[in-house]
Structure formats: structure tokens, C-alpha cells
Structure 1
Amino acid sequence: MPASVDSTGLQTTFDVARVRADFPALHQRIYDGRPLVYLDNAATTQKPQVVIERIRDFYMRENANIHRGVHYLSQLASDAYDEARRLVADFIGAPDPSQVIFTRGTTESINLVAATYGRRHVGEGDEIVLSAMEHHSNIVPWQLLCEEKGARLRVVPVDERGVLDLEALERSLTERTRLVAIAHVSNALGTVNPVREIIRMAHARGIPVLVDGAQAIQHLEVNVAELDCDFYCFSGHKMYGPTGIGILYGKAELLEAMPPYQGGGDMIERVTFERTTFNRLPYKFEAGTPHIAGAIGLGAAVAYLNGLGRAAVAHYEDELLRYATERLQDVPGLRLIGTAPHKVSVLSFVIDGVHPYDAGTLLDQMGIAVRTGHHCAQPLMDRLGLPGTIRASLALYNTREEIDALVEALHRVVRMLR
């Protein structure tokens, strides 16, 4: 379908063929000339040409360190880096760009909060509330903090569909709760958690909330000010940007009160051997030379998504998820894992008599890239009584024809292994 453009210049219908032309990696052939069918987008997304070219152009024409040089290239690099921060702030509805901290990704963002806010506010006997569907990156930093402080984790259960028990969550909030850390979207199941309601519930008791948005930012329109979350984290590589770059958003009053995460470089205002004073936000949390090209590439990815129109992308992905869900029912012995009524385009499943790793290996030989295993969510797999699943995760460039290819390949896998 050809794209139309509204008065703001944004695309209002979705032309997947045109979009696919923007992603060079999708057009390669592997294994005796088989076309690549890339369905591992929850692990990382492919990159559009504009992002690749923007990173290349930076290294070819603007490469210099930022904020400390008066020469021409340093000024260009600094401007591009700062503009990327402004683009991200607008993209997530942050009230001010200074509340957007560049990190290496979601994992470092969570560790930063645990090491600064957590160490200052969590003590012996205190509690941190998580859900049973969290990624390891939103479990282990809090475990380490609890071990250090003598605190404990409280885990909110999920049902067989992968839906969070909100009543249990509310019961978990006590006078000892110091933080709720919750996934916006489950990477293993695709479940979309009602984070707005969770935040309201926690704030009614004066409890701050960190939202792990690694699997949400590429599918949902996120406005941190409207959510009223205290912290929001995500990674660039899951939203068509570079690896090694991510975001921590925080409310200004919290970030101002938090101690630095690391020392050195741009996070200082003045250093003497007796005392150091720290830079203003956001630089207080960006020690050393940052991933300048990564930040600029992330800004290009944000501009690309804005140009497509977030509502059009979301509608297309929802339709693709519905189609894939229906088509997978045709595979003998296949059972979907994660059937929440509100989810994004992640399809986890098992097949009777077929080990996920064996299925993933055979699918790969047919040119189809999926993820198999526990998806860095071992406690969730334990809750569901599974060693792991096969996960096909869809993105804005996937097609119905690719879903058909997956289903046909799964039929072949069943015939070969059962």
C-alpha cells in the first residue's frame, strides 16, 4: 500500500515494502542462497540505512571529542551529540533533555540506579518489588543491592497467560518498600504490563517506580511525563539504533539528589586533591568519553521512527501479530506461551516432542532466525515449568510472507523431529 502523508509530514499509512528497502541486512541470502527471514527482533533489531550512514558520516567528517574542545570538529561533534539528546527527550516526552542520561544500554541504566539511588535509600530489612517476568538485568542488580544492604526482593506472580497479578502487587507494597522495578513489556512473552496503574498504585504510598522499557520503546508510544514514572530505561539497539548506547530517564529531583555513578572526565566541575565538585545534569552521570557515535546514531533512529509515524507502525505490528498468532495454530503440537490480552509482537511457543534448541537449529538452516532458550528470564521459565521456548519476535519490517515461511518451516521441523 502506498504511503500517504498528513499535514505534519508524517506517514499515515504503512508501506512495508518501502520500509524494507531501508534495511540492507534484510536483503542478504544465506545458506545456499536462502533469503534471510529475521525474526529475532526482541534480541536486537536491524538498522536502517540512514542510521548506518549517520554513524559513518560522523566518523568521516565530525570525529572529535565533545564539550572540551574549541576547534571546529569538536564543536560539530558536541552539537550533534547534544541534538541527539534533545531528539530522545522529545521522543519519550521528557520535560527537559537534562533528564536524559546516555548509558551503554538498559542493563547499565538499571545498574546505575541500583548503585546510586538504591545504595542511598535501601537499608536493612527494606524491600524492592519486582515481577516474576523480569529480565535478568532487572533482577540481578537488585539482588546484589539486597545482599549488600540486608534487604530483600518481593516478587509479584504472573498467571499461566503471563498476566501480572495486580492485587498481589498491591499487597506487596508496604512501609518497607523502597522501589518498584517493573518491565513495561516482557521480553519472553510480549505481555504489556499496566505500568500507568502500577505507578499510580506505588505513588499513592510514596514509592518510586523504575520501568524497564527495553521491549516497549520500539513498539509503543511512550511518554514518561504522562506515565509519571520516576525512572525509565531502554536500549538503542532494540529500536533500530546502534549497540552500546542506551538511555536512563529520571525525574530531575531524584537525579539531582543521587551521587555520581562513576568518576572522571565530563562529570566534574572542578577537581583538587582535597575535593571534587560535580557537573550539572546530565553530565554528572556521563563520566569519560561517551559513545558519541552511538548517541548520534540513536538520534538518527529516533528521527527515522518519527518519520514513519508511531501510530502507523503500532497498527501494522498489531495486525502482523494477529496474523502470526492465527497461522501458528496450524502447526501440529504447537502451544503458545504468553497469551495475555494486551501484548506486543512477540510469539513464544513450544512444540510437543521437539526441543527448542533443535527447532531453532533447523529453522536457521532454512534461513529463519528465531531465538531459543530461557531468554534471560529463567525465573519466569521456572514458573511456567519450561526449560525454554522458541521465540519469534516481529518488527515493523516483517511481513505476512515471512510468517508463512516460518509456519511452513515449522511443519517441516515437526515432520523431521517427531
Structure 2
Amino acid sequence: MPTSAPAPAPKNTKDAMKMARDDWKINESKMNVASVSKTKQNGAPVAPRWVPNKEKSSCTKCSCKFDWVKRRHHCRRCGEVFCGDCTNKKALLPANTAAKESDTKNPRRVCTDCYDSVESMQEQLAMQDSNAMRTNEIEDKNRYLNSPMRFTMGAEIRKAAYIIRNFHSGLEAKVDDTSLPLMLIRDACGLAILTVMKVGFVWTGRLGTGIVISRRGDGTWSPPNAIMMAGMGFGAQIGGEVTDIVVVLTSQAAVNAFSGKGQVSLGGELSVAVGPLGRSAEGALRAGDGGMSSCISYSHSKGFFAGVSIEGAVISQRPDINRNFYGTDKYTGEDLLRGNVPPAPAAKPLYDALRTLMESDPTNKERAGFLAAGHSQPQQQQQQGQQGNFVNQQQQQQQQQGAGGAGQQGGLVAI
């Protein structure tokens, strides 16, 4: 039987090192092949190879050349390198993808071919692996540190829960005229909960984020819809403040207005906030592409801000936040607020905070589960009229005292 000739002896140390490297590469290759074969024999799929950037000078799909404008982008599923136009979609991915990332609950960038291959799985993956299905916990020590800007839905939900708890049992609730009216929450068709920062001198800017929820037909609350507020103002004003705002949507028309693509707020604002506690009074008419709406807002401010101003602000949706939370971009604000999407388990802290708030009402024990559908339209109009008269009387008193005074402002505002 023929035998292979023995390898020649190395002539020097350099040749010996080269032969050792060659033997190591051969053995490593054999081990990789054996590992892949074993994986295939066990029936488990092999993850695609992550292609290094340096190996690709053009897009794998359209063959366009990469330069400082046409940037490289990896498909997180197949591992190939594409241009931005060929990887303009995101999707939740199953196991054994090319990406070595631990974050599998957020939609990842994929090429168009891979998106087509996983599109049919998105609903199932969203119900199993999306952020909406995760456990969301709150810590009591963070309830007074609400940031005006949050970049995940989980953080927005925790912030909204803190705001509701502060209105119910926080330092602000020690003052009688700053407690959140339970009657309004009980009869609300929806709630918008935001934290907004406003700073400036004469010219002011304000920016903040939050969520909107609506009451479903069975009395429960809908999944949250992420929103952002941005605006400017002009007037005799100075200071800076961070304000937690709860806007009570008193009718379905108001909820529909918040479910549109954009919303504009125009009106006049009179506000004073001194020290750790503050109240602000605001009159505005909110009009969006979903229609006209009238709502009631209540707020707590921290900081120092005084003056009279004309304010303009835009409230818009945040589809990227919704997509990362629900795992799909198919859910519009209208779908979320009209009850077409089941409640999200990750929103439980907010639901619990609202339930606790309602259970604190001695006249509302039997309705603590939010099982009331609301009052009739004439009763709503009567309530809105009473609130409007209350605000008009306060505004007249404030005008007599002077806009620059440090008098207390009412917490209930019709806008």
C-alpha cells in the first residue's frame, strides 16, 4: 500500500515557523468543516457569514459603487453588504441570523430580499419577541426625575406611570388645587401624558415627548401611541421649567384628532411656576388632520417661569418609537387608539397607576376597573361648560392682579 512521503525537514527556524502555521490552518479548517457537518447532521441551521466591509466595493444587489455618499450597510439576516436603498426596511428576525447582536427584540435593518422572506413571520415574532411583550418595572425613587425626552416606549410608559402617581400621591398632591380630578379621568375617552421643557427670554422654545392612550369599548385602555411636542413662543416672559402634563380627552373627536399624522396647537398661555411645585393655566384650540377637539389639561411644573406669551406648537407621532416597541410598522396611531391592537403587557405599570388612582375615589369603588364607557354627550357638554366658566373667572381675577404677579394659577384648564 503506498504511503505519503514524509515532509521535508525545515532548513532553518523561519521554515519551521511557516510549516507550523500551515499545519495550524489546515487543522483549523478541518475542525470548522467537522463542526459545520455536525451542525447540519443535528438539523440546526447554520448562521450566514458576516461579510467584512473591505470585501465589498459595490452593493450586492444593485452593484452600485460605494463612496462617501453611497455608504455600506449590512443586512442583519444574510450578512451581505448593500447600499442604503437596498436595505431600507427593518424587521424582527428569527434565530440563526448573521448579526452577532444580543438585541433581538427590536426590528433590525435587512435587505429587500430578506424582508420578503421574513415578512410572513412578523406578526408571530411580534407576539413572541417584541418589546411590547416584555416585563416593564418602575422604581419609586425615579418618580420625580422625569426627563422631557425619552427614546424608547418602555421609558415613556414608566414616565407616564410616574406622572399619574405623582398627581395622586406625590408632593404635588399635598396641595388641594393640584390634585388630578378623578371625575375627569373616570369619564375620559383618552389621555395624553407628556413631559415638556420650556426655556427662553422673550422668545421661548419648548420640547417634550409622551404617549396617548384611549378607552376601548370594553372600558380598558388601549396600547400607547408615542407622540412629541415641539413649539416656540413670543412675549413678555423669562425663565425655564419642566412640566408634567396630563391632557384629558373628553370626547371621541378629541381622541381622533390625536390619532392623525400631525396636530397644531395655537393659543395664549399665562403661566407661573416657582420652586419645586407649580401650576399653569393655558387656553388653546387644538386642530389636527383628524378634526377639531376640545380637551382639559392639568399640569405640574418645576422651575421658575413667569410671563404672558403667544404659543405655537406641533404635536406629532413618533412612528420609529412605535415600530421598535411593537416590532412592526404596520400599526398606525389610528390602529392603536381605536382598539385594533390588543393591550401591551409592557404597558402594565401605566394601567396599574390609573387603576390605583381610580380606586382612591370613594365614590368609584365599583368602577375601579375602568368598566364605564362614559357619559352621554349632553352631560359632557355640561361638564365642559362648567370648566370653561371656572377658567374664565380665574383669568379675569388674574388680569386684575397683573400678569407679572406670583399668584397661584388654577390647575384645571380648558384647551
TM-score (normalised: structure 2) = 0.22
Comparing both chains, which one has the higher relative contact order based on Cα–Cα distances under 8 Å and sequence gaps of 6 or more? 1
TM-score (normalised: structure 1) = 0.22
Q: As a proportion of its length, which structure holds more strand?
A: 2
Q: As a proportion of its length, which structure holds more helix?
A: 1
